[in-house]
Amino acid sequence: MIEKVMLGGYGSLVRPLLFRYGGGDPETVHETTLWWLGRLGKVLRPIAPYSPSGAARTVFGIRFPNPVGLAAGMDKDGVALPAFGALGFGFVEVGTVTWHPQPGSERPRLVRLPASGAILNRMGFNNAGASALADRLAAVGPLATPLGISLGKSKITPIGEAVTDYLASLRVLYRYGDYFAVNVSSPNTPGLRTLQDADRLAELLAALLAEARSLAGAAAPKPVLVKVAPDLSDHALGQVLEVCVATGVSGVIATNTTLSRDGLAARDATAVAGQAGGLSGRPLAARAVEVVRFITRNCDLPVVGVGGILTPADADRMADAGASLVQLYSGLIYQGPGLVRACVARLSQAREKGL
C-alpha cells in the first residue's frame, strides 16, 4: 500500500510541476534535477540503498544490494552519483561516455510522450569525455552501490578506428568502474550499430577484454558487458550472442532504445512523425522482454533487463524472462523514485517465495 501511495503522490503532485518547469523543456528539467541531486549528494550519501530480505544478488562476481539499477543516460557525467543509492537503487550505470568530449545533437533532442509513457531521445552521447569523468569519479570516491560505466564511440572517430577509441576510455576509467558496458547499440551515433556485426564486434570485444586483463594485473579482470539493440532480428541477435560467448564477456544488457514507433498513442505518433531518435518507455516493454527471453534461452550469460519498466509488474516480467538484474530510466521520469523501492520490494518478495 505504501508504494502505491508514493507512486500516486508523485504522479498527481510532483510530476505535473516538473513537466511544466522550464517552459516544459524536458532537458532543462533533467539538468536541473541532476544539479539538485548533485548538491544534495553529501546529505543523501549516508543513506544506504534499499535492501530488504531477499533483495541482494551476486551477478558476474559483483554483489548488488538489490537488483534494480539506474540505466545509463540519466547521469552521463557522474554529477549526482552519491544520491542515487538513497533513492533506492542497487547499482548505477554512468555514461554513455566517449573518449572525446562532445556536445551531442542539436537541441531540442528530448521529447516526452506522456500518452504513451514514452520518451524519444536523440541526445547523441553528449558528455564531457572519459578523462573528465575519471577526474570526477576520483573526487567522488567509493560509492554505496556498484558502479557500471557505459562506453561509447566518439562521433568524430571513424568506425575503422572504433577499437582505439573504446580502449582509450577503458584505460582512464578502469580503476573506477565495477563493470563496463560496451554500447554498440545506440541509434543516435551514425554507424554505431554496425559494430554489432559479428566480425567488428568480435574485434572490439577481444581488444577490450585483453585490455581489461592487462589492467587487472594479478586480480580478476572486471566484468565487460555488451548492450544490444531491440531492433535486431533473432538471427542477428544469435550472432551477437555467439561472439559474446566466444570472446568471454560477462553478460548482456537488453535493450537499448528502439527505432520502431509501434505502440505509440495516435497523438504521440503524430507529434514525432519524421523525427529521428530512439524510443524508450512503455512501447518498448514487450520487445525488451522478448529479447531478454531469447538471450536466456540461447546462452548462459547473465542478462540485465531494461526497457519499458514502469511498474513493479514490469520488473517481474523481466525477471520471469530470465533477467538477473533490471534497470530503470523512463519509468523514473514518469513514476518517480517510489518506483525503485516498489520494484525492489516486488522482486525481493518473489524471490523469498521462490517464484
Contact yes or no for 334/15 (Cβ under 8 A): yes
* Active-site entry in 185, 186, 280, 324: 186
Please check whether residue 185 is in contact with residue 253, taking contact to mean a CB–CB distance below 8 angstroms: no
In the block, cell 531521445 appears at: 121
- 320: DSSP letter: H
Give ∠ CA 105-171-226 in degrees, rounded to 5. 60
**Coil, helix or strand at residue 84:** helix
- 166: three-class secondary structure by DSSP: helix
Query: Is the distance from CB of 202 to CB of 226 less than 8 angstroms?
Result: no
Distance CA 213, CA 192 (A): 25
What is the distance of C-alpha 91 from the center of its chain? 10
Q: How far apart are CA 325 and CA 58, in angstroms?
A: 10
Would you say 214 and 263 are in contact if contact means Cβ atoms under 8 Å apart?
no
Neighbouring residues of 212: CB distance < 8 A, sequence distance ≥ 6: 170, 174, 180, 221, 222, 224
CA angle 112, 116, 119 (to 5 degrees): 30
Half-sphere exposure of 49 (CA within 13 A, CB side): 27
Kind and range of the H or E run holding 292:
helix 285-298
Tell me how far the alpha carbon of residue 41 is from its chain's centroid. Answer: 21
DSSP classification of residue 279: E
260 is catalytic: no
Grid cell at residue 91 = 547499482
What residues are annotated to the active site?
186
